[in-house]
Amino acid sequence: MTEHAPTAAFFDLDKTIIATSSSMAFSRPFFEGGLLTRTDALRTAYAQFLFQIGGADERQTTRLRDALSELIKGWEVAKVEGIVAETLHDYIDPVVYDEALELIALHHRYGRDVVIVSASAYEVVKPIADMLGADGVIASQMGVKHGKYTGDITFYAYGEAKATAIREMAADRGYDLSRSYGYSDSITDAPMLSVVGHGYAVNPDRGLRRQAAEHGWGALRFKRPVALRGGGSPGSVAVGIAIVAVGIVAAVLIARSVRRRR
């Protein structure tokens, strides 16, 4: 590659650009739209709480993938796309890190393409990427038949698969990966950071922190989500939702325990 070849900045989405899980951020509008039951919504809220406080290791991510693929089986693709389009600014705007927006703008000023790379479904990631002004998307592809999700995942953008997809995009667009950038929070994205010349760990989990030290990757701390338009910080809202979810789960467990004793 020459120094005149184009370059790109590859951003993970969840907990790197936004302070939550993109797949679970739309649980409320999906519930209100009739796609989720109350039980599904509760499970999703609890899963989001665990995602917020813990690292996205391979076992947790695999379980979440399987649960979500089973959950969306039979959903109409057009309805999902419509709900995401209608509620995007309500549920994603408040949790975007200011630091990520500044970094995306900086890369654009230097003439680099910005590509969002996420394990979430393409139908969720693409509108978010468009809102952020990204130039490309790598995301999981869900099986579709007769306009409905089959529950199969035809491409899972996770782990080594992210790195492979980045190489393929670079070959197609002519990116010089040795002069390109990568950003992620999770150890599962170590392969993604390894394929670019400039890797950065953003709010890294313990595993990625160790890998960053070994590979000489940079470390960044993002902690300023965009303020909610209605007042109050998105962080407090997320914590409030999590506390309510955990409270409900605890109440259910206590009730079951009491019934067993009786």
Per 3-state DSSP, the chain is made up of helix, strand and coil in percentages (nearest 5) of 55, 20, 25
For residue 105, give Cα distances in angstroms to 114, 197, 220, 257. Answer: 9, 20, 16, 53
Rounded Cα distance between 38 and 32, Å, is 10
Q: Are 88 and 80 in contact (CB under 8 A)?
A: no
- What lies within 8 Å, CB to CB, of 158 at 6+ separation is 61, 65, 119, 140, 188
Please pick, among 12, 113, 185, 205, the residue that the annotation labels catalytic: 12
Q: Are 1 and 104 in contact (CB under 8 A)?
A: no
Tokens of 84: 């995401």
Looking at the chain, how many residues does it have? Answer: 262
Please pick, among 14, 113, 185, 189, the residue that the annotation labels catalytic: 14
Asked if 14 is an active-site residue, the reply is yes
Rounded Cα distance between 242 and 255, Å, is 20
Q: Are 48 and 242 in contact (CB under 8 A)?
A: yes
Q: Which residues are catalytic?
A: 12, 14
